[in-house]
Every structure is written in structure tokens, then in C-alpha cells.
Amino acid sequence: MSEKIPINIIELPETEYFESGHTACAGCGGALAVRQAMKILGDKTIVYTPACCLLVFGSTYPLNAWRTPFFQCAFENSAAVAAGVAAALKRKGINDVNAVVFAGDGGTVDIGLQAISGAAERNDNVLYICYDNEAYGNTGMQRSGATPFGAWTTTTPVGTIIKGKTEHKKDFPRIMISHSIPYVATATVAFWRDYMQKVARAKDMRGFRYLHVLSPCPVGWRASTGDTIKLSRLAVETGLWILYECDHGAFRFTGPSRLIAEGMKQRKPVKEYLQLQGRFRHLTDKDIALIQEWIDKNWQEYSKFAASTKG
């Protein structure tokens, strides 16, 4: 089992590799996810971003928020482009630079799935970090496969007949685990130490490494801009978002999710999380019960899975 990596807040570098002056919305969980990861990844990083919020707020000509080399190509091919960079670095004999993708959930779990699956199967030397704001944020909050059940989005509006998204969230990290890649982890911006430990662990590995970071979007989720961290925390504490890492096939829960799994902490009722967000305002008690049911079932399955990978 991998050693815990100490993250000391006073030893984190001063340099901002993703600088101020970017044009993300106030309170953007995605921008924070990138900033926190870059504190660990540092300057030996080549960053690729598909078309997503991050592309627009991080690099609109002539404004460039990055202190590392950065580029973009299209929407659905992030893993393939990064695989090309990794191959080029290998050819140049450069072993200490990471080819990193920061991509939104849309370009990852939906249209980006093919390229990621291919790169994962080939075990291309890429570190892929998905910042998940649970919709196509860049184009105005349309639903993605990562949008949770019941959520309002512009393409799953709250109508008189159909209210919100009718499907559950696609469990993409689980799909990545099935590819048997060296490292898969989930994280969120509230538990930044847990997140940074995972980035630090992934940073020094080779092969295809995948991190999925829940990044609340106050604008899209119709929440207060100051609630980003609160939402991120509650997502984990209600059990809706599970923190874990799967290191070369060995699965373990981390952070508060580990306490929940070991019975040392009770899951908070999901209503506490849902009621802070306008995108769930229309949910009936019956809907919330369905969501709670899904959470319970999800925990059962993950507990079973965790048990099966031990030993």
C-alpha cells in the first residue's frame, strides 16, 4: 500500500503556475482545481486543455494564465493529443516532464471517451485530470453524462412534464479502473490535502493516470459564489461523491469517505447538499428519496468492490 505523502501548506510553492487575472467566474471550482494541482505539478509540466471553460478563461488571446507551456487542439481528442506530446518527450529523452490534460467533464466522459479509452489501453504516459462541474459549462450549462439525476440544465430544463435530468451520473472513474491503468483517483477541491496527495502520487508515476475532481460551479449549479467549498465538502459528507484511489489495482477509500466506509462517520442526509443549489430546487421528496437510494446502492457496490481488491 502506497505511503501517505505529506502536504505541508507552508511548504507549498509561492509560484502560481496558473496566474491571477484569468477570467473564470467568481468562485469557480474548476479554476481552483487547476490552481491546487499546479502547486504540486510545478514547472515541469506541459498542459493541454480541450475546448472547455478552462480554455476560455485561462487562454484567450492575448491573455495567457499559464506559466507552463500550454496548448489546445479540439474538443474530444485530449488524451490522443497528450499521447503525442508524451511520445515526443520520450523521443527527446525528456523524462522529468509530465504531459498533463485538464479537461471538463463534457470533453471527458462524453465526447472524449474514445480517445481516453484508447490512451488508457495503450497506457500512454499522460496524467489526465478531469475537473467535473457536472455539465457543459463553457457553452452555457447543457447536460453531460456527468450531470447528476434530477439536475436542471439548459437541455434538461424543469418543464411541466419532464423536470431535470432523468438519468443518473455516469461513473467515469469506475470505467477508468476497468482499464487497469496504474492510477485512478477521485478528489474534490474542499479536501485539498487529499487532492494534492493524489496529484503528488500520480505525478511521479508513468503510464496513464486519471484523476476526477468534483469542481462545483456556482453559476451553473445556481448556488452562491461563496459556497463552492461548502458544496464540495457536503458532496463527500453526504456520500454523493466518494473519495478514493486505485493504485495499480489496489483500491482504498480516502479522506472522509474512508471514515464513512469504516463506519466511523455517518453520511449526512443528501438534502443538506441539494438545498444549497438552485438546479435542484424543483426536486420533490420522492426525487430526493430516489437520489438517497442511489447513494446507498452506490456505497454498497463500492464497498463490495473495495473488499474484492484487498489481498
100 lies in the site for other proteins, by CB under 8 A: no
Question: By rule CB under 8 A, what count of residues binds other proteins?
Answer: 78
Stretch that binds other proteins, among 59-67, 149-157, 167-175, 264-272 (CB under 8 A): 59-67
Of the pair 65, 185, the CB lying nearest other proteins is at 65
Contact pattern for other proteins over residues 120 through 139, marking x by CB under 8 A: -xx-x---------------
Least distance (Å) between residue 297 CB and other proteins: 32
Of the pair 32, 261, the CB lying nearest other proteins is at 32
310 lies in the site for other proteins, by CB under 8 A: no
Of the pair 22, 170, the CB lying nearest other proteins is at 22
73 lies in the site for other proteins, by CB under 8 A: yes
Q: Are 221 and 278 in contact (CB under 8 A)?
A: yes
d(CA 175, CA 114): 12
Stretch that binds other proteins, among 39-47, 127-135, 238-246, 249-257 (CB under 8 A): 39-47
The residues, ordered by sequence, that sit 6+ positions from 241 with a Cβ below 8 Å of its Cβ are 186, 188, 214, 235
Of the pair 58, 150, the CB lying nearest other proteins is at 58
Of the pair 13, 157, the CB lying nearest other proteins is at 13
In the list 37, 40, 41, 81, the residue contacting other proteins (rule: CB under 8 A) is: 81
The residues, ordered by sequence, that sit 6+ positions from 204 with a Cβ below 8 Å of its Cβ are none
Strand partners, 127: 100, 209
104 lies in the site for other proteins, by CB under 8 A: no
Stretch that binds other proteins, among 13-21, 251-259, 267-275, 288-296 (CB under 8 A): 13-21
95 lies in the site for other proteins, by CB under 8 A: no
62 lies in the site for other proteins, by CB under 8 A: yes
What are the C-alpha distances in Å from 84 to residues 71, 79, 119, 167? 13, 9, 10, 35
In the list 4, 92, 286, 310, the residue contacting other proteins (rule: CB under 8 A) is: 92
Q: How many CB atoms lie within 10 A of CB 303?
A: 13
Beta strands 244-247; 183-188: pairing state: antiparallel
Beta strands 126-132; 98-104: pairing state: parallel
Indicate the DSSP class of residue 108. Answer: I
Q: How many CB atoms lie within 10 A of CB 206?
A: 13
198 lies in the site for other proteins, by CB under 8 A: no
Stretch that binds other proteins, among 172-180, 223-231, 237-245, 281-289 (CB under 8 A): 223-231
Alpha helix stretches (DSSP H) within the chain? 29-41, 53-58, 78-91, 113-121, 172-177, 192-203, 218-221, 228-237, 255-261, 271-274, 285-309
Indicate the DSSP class of residue 224. Answer: -
